[in-house]
Amino acid sequence: MEQLLKKFTVAPEKCQSLILVSTYHFAPLHLGKLLLHFRKVRSLFLNTNQEKLMTARTCLYSWKEKNVEEFYNNYKPNNIGYKKALRACFDVDNRRLLPKTKVPTLIIGGQYDSILPIWIQIHMNKQIPNSELVIFKNCGHIAKYEVSNEFNETLSLFLNIHRLVTN
């Protein structure tokens, strides 16, 4: 999100809309240190398959065979990449940018997202003028797997309403 918002603030004429899916605007640094420590300790005890299972249990709310299979086929644990990404996430503080957002913005969250609880998306929705909020029911962190049809319909509707796509 930070890169998108930086591009938006540097060249706002190039940004026509924002679609923020299970994302956040700020996280305290002490939380990041705690998560990195937890991840390091966990990696000492789990093999790759156990790591995938733990991650799937954290990210997915529903255990439909299709969702789990798609998750397993696409998820490739990478501890080095994860640590870099997590560190980068905790360098983000976009609180001051949210009220300045002037383009159509769709904020999407999952009702049972255990990684980024919906209160984060609700707060972003309150801070971004004229933003739209969609919370998918019976869904965890990865809406595109768990409610793929509804997810795609929501994106299409948003883009069509704001005339951001041509048919």
* pLDDT tens-digit series, residues 82-132: 778 777 777 778 888 889 888 899 999 999 998 888 998 999 999 999 899
Reference 141, options 106, 111, 167, 100; nearest CA is 111
List all residues 6 or more positions away from 110 whose beta carbon is below 8 Å from its beta carbon: 22, 61, 118, 135, 136, 139, 140, 141, 142, 143, 146
Q: Which run of H or of E encompasses 59? A: helix 48-59
Is 167 domain-assigned? no
Tally of domains in the chain:
1
137 three-class SS: coil
In whole angstroms, give the CA distance from residue 122 to residue 107.
9
Is residue 50 situated within a structural domain?
yes
Look at residue 166 and tell me if it is in a domain: no
More confident residue, 133 or 46: 133
Residue 142, domain member (yes or no): yes
Cα distance between residue 65 and residue 63, in whole Å = 6
Which CATH number fits the domain that encloses residue 29? 3.40.50.1820
Within a domain: residue 123? yes
Using the predicted structure, report yes or no on whether residue 65 has a pLDDT greater than 70: yes
Examine residue 143 and state whether it is found in any structural domain, yes or no: yes
pLDDT, residue 38, reads 82
Tokens at 84, concatenated: 């870099």
Band of residue 36 on the pLDDT scale cut at 50, 70, 90 = confident
Does the residue 6 lie in any domain?
Answer: yes
Least confident of 6-15, 35-44, 47-56, 101-110: 6-15
Residue 150 in any domain: the answer is yes
Identify the domain containing residue 128 by its residue range: 2-161
**Is 109 within 8 Å of 118 (Cβ atoms)?**
yes
